[in-house]
Structures are given as C-alpha cells and as structure tokens.
Amino acid sequence: MNNHFTITIHDDNGVKQFNIHQIMKKATIYAVSFFAFIALVAVGTILYLNSSLDAIEVKRQSVQNAYTSLKQKNIELDENIKNTQLALIDKKRELIEVSDSLSEIETLIGLAPVADMSLQERVNATKLNSEHMATLMQFIPNGSPVEYKGITSKFGYRTHPTLKTRELHRGIDMRAKMNTPVYATADGIVEWAGVHKRSGFGKLIILQHNYGFRGYYGHLNKIVIKSGKFVKKGDLIAYTGNSGMSSGPHLHYEIRFIQRAVNPLAFVKWSVKNYKDIFEKEKKIPWQSLITAIAHIKVQNPTQTQPLSQLALQSKVK
C-alpha cells in the first residue's frame, strides 16, 4: 500500500523530488479544514456579537430614554407634591381663619359649639342662626332713623317742654336740624302718614312692623310716603321738622310692642355687632318665643347697606 507521495520541484539547478508521508498529507488537510472551520465560526460569532451589541445598544438607549422620562416625571411629581403641600398649608391656614371667624360669629349670635362638632356642622348651625339674625334685624326696628347726633330728651317721666306738666315720655327726642332725612328702621306697613292733632305730634308717621312692633316718627316737616304703602328697612319716609307741640326742630321717635312703649334708645343702638345686648336690655319682650316663631322664615334679600343715619350712629358708638 502506498502511504507516501512525491513532490517534484523544478528550478535553475535542476529537478528535486521530496517524498511526504500520507499521514502528513492528511494532517495538513485536517489542519487547513480546522482553521477554516475556526475562521468560519469566528466570523459567525463576530457577526452574532455585532448583532447582539446593536440590539443591546437599542435596549440601552430605550432604557436610557425611559430613565430620563422617569427622572423628569419624578421632578414634576416632586414639584406637584411641594405645590400640594403648600396648598394644604394655605388651606389649613384658611380653615384656621374660618374657624376663628366662625368662633367670633358664634359668640356674636350666642352659640356655644359642641367640642366634637365638625366645621361643616358649625357652619350650618351658624348659617341658620345668621338667617334668624338677618330676619330679626329686617323685621324689628333697629338702628337710628336719622343721622345720629344724640338725644335731647330721654325715655321716661319728664316735665313736658310745652305743657310744663310731668308725664311719661314714651319715646326719645333725637337731635336733628330742620329737614333732616328720616329712614324706616325696619320693614313695615304705613299705618298713618299725616297730621295727628290729638297726640300733639303734628305730622306723624306710624309704621306697623311685624310681630306686634310699631314705630312712631313725630314732629315732621315733610312726609314722602302714604298710608297703606309698604316700606323696607332703610327707605326714606320723611324729613324732620317742628310741627305739633314742639319747642324746636327734632325727631320724636317711639317704639311700641303690643301698644306698650319700650325704650327706643336700646333699639337705636342695636346692630349685628351687639346683637345679644337687646335681649338683656329689653326683657319685657318675649324674645325666645319670637325667635322660635321666625325659625322657619328666611329673608331672601335682607337690607345689606345701611343709610347714613345708622352709619353715623355706629361711628358715635365706637
């Protein structure tokens, strides 16, 4: 069996022959095949790794983008949290201010809040009582009917300036120049508007208010309303004068409850700022039953602005 082969080389020096064993031949072939396979695998691996690197780079870029987006969202979330915290602080401060204001209102209208009452329950209770207060202040005489400049004669027994006899003065004489505007101190119906000779009040207006109250405005110079008409609190009704048994220009002002005269000065000084005072100063009036009677009534459009007379009074009281 022939286990070798001959290699012949021709050059300038002649012909040379070399004999290579068959095993070497096979080894060479195997080695070449192996290296070719290795090269092929290496090329395939490199191509695969390059493809994998591209995919990894795409994923890395995607993760980087997601991280950047998440980071931005975290910044925005932190900003929103800060803004929310600031808003909560502001709301908490506002609630404290509301609670403090509510406490002042509760004190004003005589409410004693229960310890475990919620703010909403306190608001509801205050709103209800505020509505009662608005109704009471709309229907019952309060404030000054003229620009307040003091009084010249008090309520009670006195010597009549004209008759010189001692008698009960059922109202107060309010200092006012001739033709000072006179305003209604509560809603009512004009019961009388004209000269009233029997009383000595000269030109007189009687306003019939709700719940048994009447207001008397005497010694007027000019009356601008008529009997039977409805007037609202703060409406102009007349101008002061010196008519009837009067010693000089002024306004005689009376308030009666079921025909019984009460001291008008307490009502003149009555306002939302001293809402409870009237209940102590005028105990002849059944306030509790009166408030109960109006509990279901709500004034839709209570008088919000006060005439000059009441504003002037408030500045005097201060």
pLDDT by residue (tens digit) across 266-305? 999 998 778 778 888 888 888 878 877 777 777 777 776 5
* Model confidence band, residue 317 (pLDDT cutoffs 50, 70, 90): very low
Q: Which residues contact 61 (CB under 8 A, 6 or more apart)?
A: none
Structure tokens at 206: 């009687």
For residue 120, pLDDT over 80 is answered with no
* pLDDT value at residue 17: 65
Model pTM score = 0.60
pLDDT by residue (tens digit) across 15-52? 776 666 666 777 778 888 888 889 888 888 888 888 88
Residue in this structure with the two tokens 């004034």, named with its chain if needed: 299
Percent of the chain with pLDDT over 90: 36
Please check whether residue 7 is in contact with residue 18, taking contact to mean a CB–CB distance below 8 angstroms.
Answer: yes
pLDDT by residue (tens digit) across 196-224? 988 889 999 999 999 999 999 999 999 99
For residue 183, pLDDT over 50 is answered with yes
Region of 152 please: left (phi>0), alpha (psi -120 to 50) or beta.
alpha
Report d(CA 207, CA 216) in Å as an integer: 7
pLDDT by residue (tens digit) across 58-88? 888 888 999 999 989 999 999 999 999 999 8
pLDDT by residue (tens digit) across 159-170? 766 666 777 888
What mean pLDDT comes out for the span 92-114? Answer: 66
Mean pLDDT of all residues belonging to the chain: 82
For residue 311, pLDDT over 50 is answered with no
